[in-house]
Each structure stands twice: as C-alpha cells, then as structure tokens.
Amino acid sequence: MNFDYTFHWRPVMRKLPDLLEASLTTLQISVLSMIIGITFGLILAILRMNGPKPLAWIATGWVELARNTPALFQLFFFSFGLGAFGLHLTPYFIVLAGLTFNNAGYLAENFRGGFQAVPETQMRAARSLGMTAWQSYTRIVIPQVFRIVYHPMTNQLVWAVLMSSLAMIVGFRELAGETQALAFKTFRIFEYFAVTALIYYVMVKVILGLSRLIAWRMFRY
Amino acid sequence: MIEIKELHKYFGALHVLKGIDLNVQKGEVLSIIGASGSGKSTLLYCTNGLEAIQKGEVIVDGVSVHSKGTDLNKLRTKMGMVFQQWNSFPHLTALENVALAPKIVKGKSKSEAREIARQQLEHVGLGDKIDNYPSALSGGQQQRLAIARALAMEPEYMLFDEATSALDPELVGEVLDTMRLLAEEGMTMICVTHEMGFARDVSDRVAFFHQGVMEEIGPPQQIFGEPTSEHTAKFLANVR
C-alpha cells in the first residue's frame, strides 16, 4: 500500500485564530456548566441525604441517569428528545443543559461522599460552641467538604471540556464543531483534527496546572 | 447552678439514663466515673442539649434546657464542652479555631476575637502554636486547643467528656494539668473520666454511674475509701 497523502498545514494555520476563538467558547460553556452543575450537584446531594422521599427519588434518578447512560444520549435528550415534545432549544442551550445535567449527576456523588467523610462530631463540636446549624454547616462542614471534593471537581471540569466536543453533533460551533465545519470545507481533515486535539491537550494541561496552583494557595492544612 | 431532675434518656428501646437526680453548684468540680456504657457521656450531651431527653428536666441557671422556647445556642455559650475525640477544626489555624465562635456567635470584632483567642491559647500553654494547623499539633496539644476554644466563649461551666481517653499515655499529663489549672481558677466542671487519680485529687465530689443509674455520689475520700455500693467497690477494684 502506498502512502501518498501530503500534509498541508497552511490552511489550518490560516484558520488558527478561528479555532482559538472557538476554544474560548468551549471554555466558557464548560465553566458555566460547571458552575450551574456544582449548584445543582450540591442540591441533589443534600436532597438524597436529607430530602423528603419523593424529592430524594427524583435526585437519585437524576444521578443514576447522568452517570450510567452515554453522555451523547443525554445531549440527544435535550435536542431530539425535547424536540419531539415541540420544545426546541437553541444549540447553545442544548449543550449547556446536557453538560450541566451530566456534571450535576457526577458532582452530586462527589459531594455526598465528601459530606460523609466529615465526621459527625465536627458538627457537634460546632454546635456545642453555640453556633447555629447554618453557621456550623457554612463555617465548619462545607469548607472541609470543599477540600475533599476539590480534585474530583477539577477532573469533572476536564471531563466537561472534553465532553463538550459532542456539541458538534447537535450543530454547536465550539472548538470541535468549528473544526469539523472548517475541515470539511477544505478537506484537510486530519490536519484540522490534529491541531484541535493539540489545543484540547493544552487547555486541559492549563486547567490542571491552574487547579494545582489554586489548591496550593488555598489549602494550607 | 446545674440541676438535673429525674432525667430519663432512651436510645430507641435502650434505657440509657434511668432517673438521674444531680445538682452541681457554682465553683464545684464533679467527676463522673463508671464503666463504658453506663450513661456518663450521654448525661453530658443531655446537659447542654446536644441530645434530647424523654423525661425529667435539666435546668441551667434557672433555664430549662429542653423546653420549647429555650435559646439553646445562647445557653450553650455558657457551657463549654470538650470531647473525647478533640474535634479541632482541621481547616482553621489554632488561632482561628479559637477566635471563630467569639466572632460569629458572640459578635466580637475580628481583633477582639483574635485577642481573646491569643490569651486563651497562652492560658493552655499553646502561645507558640497560634499559627499552626491542628494537623501539626499532637493529640495533647489538640485537646488543649479544644479547651482553649471552649474557654474563649467565657463559659460558666465546662463539660469534659473523657478528655484524655483517646490520647497516647505520655500526652495525658499535659491535658490533666490544664484541667487542674482550670479547677484551681474556680471553674465549675463536670468531668466524665477514667483518670482515677485526677478524680480523687481534683474533684469536690465523685459520682459513680452503673447501667444508667447514679449508684452513689460523695466526696472522693468516701467514694474511693469506703464506697457504700458493692458495684462501686467492684469497679474500683478492677481499675486499680
């Protein structure tokens, strides 16, 4: 078999600014889906632990679906699934909802583990000093939970960045979507995806590095 | 004054405290001894409202602890508590551990709270550890930190729940010394303890608990010298 493919990198390099701009979109939507996901994840975890039965069941259902079905299908649910009921979200909101749903499911389990890892006696000690339940949670328990779930949370952000590439299937032009559009215009498919893979790699490395730096600054104990 | 009247406590079907009657006067040091599971620690938890009770009453300075309208958070600032597992807050420095409650519970300013914390850490001999995190302190130091943390609320009573039981033997002394110091300063203390030497030397009265009942109470010379209950005598023979 002859290998007669010639690499042409120049068309890719010319479009590099477009790719970098799209990677900002990727970052933006991933981070936003994390912020909302953390909020929902916390609520889901608390509902599963202390919520009234029906709400606890819904929370459990959410977590089970998010963790045990393909992320792609979750994205399809918010596009074709809701579309079947006549509810058409824009590609941006489909991706945001899909990512957030998935993040919240995984994070809820992290948070639940985190809460269980803080000894109950910490709460007792706080209450014995006259702190209210709210003060004990916000000043004593949650800061400790936060440290326990910090690195799993970073992993989830990395996963969100990589998973957001599924967005190209529902037609959203983040980094992967942009790459696909440009690649099929020029047919330099390998070159485009190689460069994009490298951009993802660098993004993830930067996130991990920053996360480590923040952890080092924040957790002195 | 702490008044405990006909106190009953159940954990499910388990009858843990079977009608305890006990008064503790201001300035008194009371030690509670007895085998594990005899209800000693539970009595402390019921005293500051960390555990609910099923029957009877606990009255602290005229306020009924378990009544509906009682502001438990306010009442607890009067009663410092030190736990067997010292429960220092791992994410805060020694100074922050002690300064937190005066600031957020009593509403002291940041600098006031820090000053109180510094004084109390000095008080328990941790003046050179104020910026250390608990993970850098020994068990004995963490327990003294817990004592300082309770003292910072300027309590009128201190409740010690087996404060030395979880410590390595060589660290017990420093914590007992701190407790002795408080007793000498006139603090009112209820100490659940397995340290018979401490109970004998420091307490004004010693109470012996057996299976949820307060079998006897009296001055240490009497309890250790001529116990009237055969359970007390047996227990003391076994721990010696």
Quote ipTM for the complex: 0.91
Note whether B73 contacts A139, CB cutoff 8 Å: no
Note whether A132 contacts B146, CB cutoff 8 Å: no
| pLDDT tier at A187, thresholds 50, 70, 90 | confident
Neighboring chain A residues of B104 at a CB cutoff of 8 Å? 131, 135, 139
Measured CA to CA, the distance from residue B91 to residue A57 in angstroms comes to 33
Note whether A221 contacts B134, CB cutoff 8 Å: yes
Note whether B83 contacts A125, CB cutoff 8 Å: yes
Q: According to the model, what pLDDT value does residue A8 have? A: 84
Considering only alpha carbons, which residue of chain B is nearest residue A142? B91
End-to-end CA distance of chain A: give it in Å, rounded: 60
Task: Report pLDDT digits (tens) over B74-123.
Answer: 999 999 999 999 899 999 999 999 999 999 999 999 999 999 999 999 99
Measured CA to CA, the distance from residue A169 to residue A171 in angstroms comes to 5
- Nearest by CB to residue B105, choosing from A119, A129, A144, is A129
- Nearest by CB to residue A128, choosing from B81, B85, B134, is B81
Q: According to the model, what pLDDT value does residue B130 have? A: 96
| pLDDT tier at A220, thresholds 50, 70, 90 | confident
Cα Rg, chain A, nearest whole Å: 21
What are the structure tokens assigned to A31, written together? 């981070």
Task: Write down the mean pLDDT value for chain A.
Answer: 93
Note whether A132 contacts B134, CB cutoff 8 Å: no
Which amino acid is it at B48? N
Note whether B153 contacts A130, CB cutoff 8 Å: yes
Note whether B77 contacts A139, CB cutoff 8 Å: no
Distance from CA of A122 to the nearest CA of B (A): 6
Considering only alpha carbons, which residue of chain B is nearest residue A145? B91
Q: According to the model, what pLDDT value does residue A1 have? A: 63
Mutate which: A129, A137, A139, A219, vs B, most B CBs within 10 A: A129
Distance from CA of B19 to the nearest CA of A (A): 24
Mutate which: B79, B87, B93, vs A, most A CBs within 10 A: B87
Judged by a CB distance cut-off of 8 A, whether residue B135 touches chain A is: yes
DSSP letter string, chain A: ---------HHHHHTHHHHHHHHHHHHHHHHHHHHHHHHHHHHHHHHHHHS-HHHHHHHHHHHHHHHHS-HHHHHHIIIIIHHHTT----HHHHHHHHHHHHHHHHHHHHHHHHHHHS-HHHHHHHHHTT--HHHIIIIIIHHHHHHHHHHHHHHHHHHHHHHGGGGGGGT--SHHHHHHHHHHHH--HHHHHHHHHHHHHHHHHHHHHHHHHHHHHH---
Q: What is the mean pLDDT of each run of 10 residues along chain B (240 residues)?
A: 95 94 96 93 95 95 93 94 94 97 96 96 95 95 96 96 91 94 96 94 96 95 94 90
Note whether A143 contacts B91, CB cutoff 8 Å: yes
Neighboring chain A residues of B105 at a CB cutoff of 8 Å? 129-131, 135
Structural domains of chain A sorted by starting position, each given as residue range(s) with its CATH number in brackets = 20-216 (1.10.3720.10)
A187: left (phi over 0), alpha (psi -120 to 50) or beta: left
Q: How far is CA B12 from the centre of its chain?
A: 25
